[in-house]
Structure 1
Amino acid sequence: MNDFYDKFRERKRFDEHAEAVSVHLDERFTSDEITVYHEMFSPDFHLDVYFVQSEKYNFNILLTAGMSTLEMTVPAAVENPQEYQFAELMLLLPKSMAFGEVTGDNTNDWLIDMLKENARFPHHYDTWLTIGHTLQATADMEPYEEHTEYTGVVILPSVNFDEDFTTLQAGENRINIYSVFPLYADEMNYKIENGYNALLDRLIVKNAKEVFDEERESLLS
C-alpha cells in the first residue's frame, strides 16, 4: 500500500489549480455563500470540496478542488488531449439538502464522499474522466450507502451553467468542470450495453434534471 501512495509523491503537482478554483468561485459568489470542507488527511493528494449556497440559483453546488492538481492520463488518440488533462467534479443539489459543519456527521455526507472517490479514480488508475464516462460505486455495483439506491454516476455537461463557469484557465492549463449525475444499477447496465448516446436519449425523454433527486424514477421506467 505504501508503494501505491509513494507514486503520488513523485508526480508533478499543479497546486496553483486548486487556488484557481477558489478564485473562480470568489469571482462569482460572496464568502458567506461558500463553505469549504477541508480534507484533514490526504494519503495521495489533497482534495477539498466546496459547498456553495447562493440566492442566485434554486439549487446548491458541491464542487471538488484538488482533482486538477494532478494531470489525468488522456489517451494519445484523443484530439487535442491537452484540453482534457485537468478536471473537477460538480454535483447540483436541492436547497433542502444540508450538511454538517464537518463531514461524517450527516446522512447526506455520502454525496461528498462519492464526489471525492470519483475525483480520485482517474489518478489511482492512470486513466481519465470526461463527458460520457461512467463510474461504479463498487465492482459488484452495490449502492454507495445503505440508504440510497444509486450505484454509480455518469459524467455530463452542465445544462445549468455555460462554458464561462464550466471551464477556467490556470496559467496555460484548462480545467474542465464536469457535472456528476448519479445512476441506478439498471441505468448503469443500460449505458454499458447501449452506450452513452442511448442513455442520453433516455435522459432527454424523461426530462431528467441536473439537480440531484434522491427519489427520482429510473430513466428506464
Structure 2
Amino acid sequence: MSKEENLVSMSGAPIFRYTDGEKEWEAPTGEECIEEISNHIEQYIGEVSMVFHELISDTVHIDVHHVKPTPERPFHTLVTSGMSDLKMSVPENVDSTHYMELMVTLPEYWQIDDESFKDERWYWPVRQLKFLARFPHKFDTWLAWGHTIPNGDPAEAYADNTKLSGAIILPSVNVPEGFSSLEIDNDKVIEFYSIVPLYDEEMKLKLNKGSDLLLDKFDKHGISDIIVTDRKNVAKKRFGLF
C-alpha cells in the first residue's frame, strides 16, 4: 500500500493507492470461526443452503455462505467467512473494527449456481466479496464504514450488463437487529458490513462531498444494499448534485 503525501479528496478524506505493496503469496490461515459464523447467519438470517468453498486460497481462506430467498426475505444473502481469521491493520489512532466479514444482498431473480457463475454477469458480486475480504490482508490495511474501493484504476464496470464500477462499505439495512456483530471472545468481535456497488459519479461525489450527501440521496431515492444492476445513479446532473 502507498499513500501519496498530502493527497486528499475535496471532502478532506485521505486517498490511498494500492498499485504497490501487495504481499507475496502466503499460505492461508485456517478457518478459525466458520462454525460460529455459520450459526450466526442461521440464527439471524436463515438456513445456509450452500457454502462456496475456495479450492485455492492466498493469505486467508474465504468461503461464501448462501441463504436463499424466503417469503419473509425475498432476496439472496451471501456472507463471507475467513476474512476475520486475521486482524486488520487498523492505525492506532483510528477507532474501528479489527475483525470484519462482508456480505451482499441480491434480488430473487439472481442466478446462483456453478454453471451461472461461469458468466461474469452473475458472478461479479461473489468475485468482489472474495477480493475485498482478502484486500486488507494483502495490502496491510483495513476496511471500515464509508470506505470506497473502485474496480481498478481507472475504474471499470463490473460486468457488461451494468455501469456500476466501485463500492462503498456500509452496514446492511436488510438484516435483523443483532446480526451486525458477533462476539467470539473478549478479544475478538466480528462486525458484518455490506458491499454496496456505486457508479463512477457516485464515487466522485463521495470523495468530493463526503458520505453524508451520498447516503442522503440514497435515502431519498430508496437505494439500499440490495444490488440492482441498472438502478438510478443518484449523482447524475439531473438529480441536481453538480
TM-score, reference length from structure 2: 0.80
Q: Among residues 93, 110, 117, which one is paired with 2:124 in the alignment?
A: 110
Contact 2:46 2:67 in 1 (8 A): no
Code of the aligned partner of 1:17: C
In structure 1, the partner of 2:101 is 88
Contact 1:29 1:54 in 2 (8 A): no
1:158 has 2:178 as partner:
no
Code of the aligned partner of 1:159: V
Contact 2:23 2:138 in 1 (8 A): no
In structure 1, the partner of 2:91 is 75
Q: Which moved more, 1:51-60 or 1:91-100?
A: 51-60
Cα deviation for residue 36 of structure 1 reads 0.9
Cα deviation for residue 120 of structure 1 reads 1.3
Contact 1:14 1:68 in 2 (8 A): no
Code of the aligned partner of 2:74: N
Q: Which moved more, 1:138-147 or 1:185-194?
A: 138-147
Q: Which moved more, 1:58-67 or 1:157-166?
A: 157-166
Contact 1:94 1:211 in 2 (8 A): yes
Q: Whose helix proportion is higher, 1 or 2? A: 1
1:17 has 2:33 as partner:
yes
1:213 has 2:228 as partner:
yes
Describe the SS at the equivalent of 2:61: coil
Total equivalences in the alignment: 213
The alpha-carbon distance between structure 1 residues 168 and 2, as it changes in their structure 2 partners (threshold 3 A), is closer
**Cα distance in 2 between the residues matched to 1:131 and 1:180:** 10
1:130 has 2:150 as partner:
no
**Cα distance in 1 between the residues matched to 2:122 and 2:170:** 22
Describe the SS at the equivalent of 1:186: helix
When the two chains are superposed, the root-mean-square deviation of aligned CA atoms in Å is 2.3
1:145 has 2:159 as partner:
yes
The alpha-carbon distance between structure 1 residues 144 and 102, as it changes in their structure 2 partners (threshold 3 A), is same
1:62 has 2:48 as partner:
no
Q: Which moved more, 1:96-105 or 1:48-57?
A: 96-105
Describe the SS at the equivalent of 2:79: strand
1:42 has 2:57 as partner:
yes
**Cα distance in 1 between the residues matched to 2:23 and 2:136:** 18
Describe the SS at the equivalent of 2:37: helix
Code of the aligned partner of 1:168: L
Matches within 5 A, 1:174-193: 174-193=189-208
Contact 2:44 2:178 in 1 (8 A): no
Cα deviation for residue 18 of structure 1 reads 2.5
Code of the aligned partner of 2:191: N
Describe the SS at the equivalent of 2:136: helix
In structure 2, the partner of 1:5 is 25
Where in structure 1 are there 5+ consecutive unaligned residues?
none
Where in structure 2 are there 5+ consecutive unaligned residues?
1-20, 237-242
Contact 1:37 1:103 in 2 (8 A): no
Code of the aligned partner of 1:149: K
Cα deviation for residue 137 of structure 1 reads 0.8
Code of the aligned partner of 1:135: I
Code of the aligned partner of 1:85: H
